[in-house]
Amino acid sequence: MVEPDWADRFPGTDPDEARLRERCHNLWTRIGPSLARSVGLVAEQQETFVEWITNTARIEQIERRMSLEGLITEGQRGPVRNPLSTLANQYRSHRKGLTAELGLSPAAAARLVRPLDDEDDPSD
């Protein structure tokens, strides 16, 4: 697998964008090799993993902004729930499906079939 250029997904010179690129790189290097070994993730399937990383970074970005802005913001008619919370929930829902596909939760990992290594081949 080849790590994507995160600047393509998160362009700009803003410190927030730089933080997202760094977070994506860290997730790629920490989790990617494990996925390649444990479930046999190959380059042709990496887009699902890239999407999971992007969703994770976006959720963290939204949570950071909500922490700065507050969970309740001022709307036209008074205080309202921060609209970013709806966006965060949408990203979480999408990430949940990707997490299951990649086997990144304990329950999903238990359902995945690990590819055979040459050492595990019963025909030897």
Q: Residue 118 has what pLDDT?
A: 56
Give the global pTM.
Answer: 0.82
Pairing of β 78-81 and β 72-75: antiparallel
**Measured distance CA(11)–CA(25) in Å, rounded:** 14
CA distances from 63 to 57, 66, 71, 86, 110 (A): 10, 5, 10, 11, 30
Cα dihedral 45, 47, 52, 56 in deg (nearest 10): 150
Q: Say yes or no to pLDDT of 114 above 80.
A: no
Domain ranges (residues) in the chain = 6-103
For the stretch 92-102, pLDDT in tens is 999 999 999 88
Closest to 108 (Cα-Cα) out of 97, 123, 121: 97
For the stretch 3-62, pLDDT in tens is 999 999 999 999 999 999 999 999 999 999 988 887 788 888 899 999 999 999 999 999
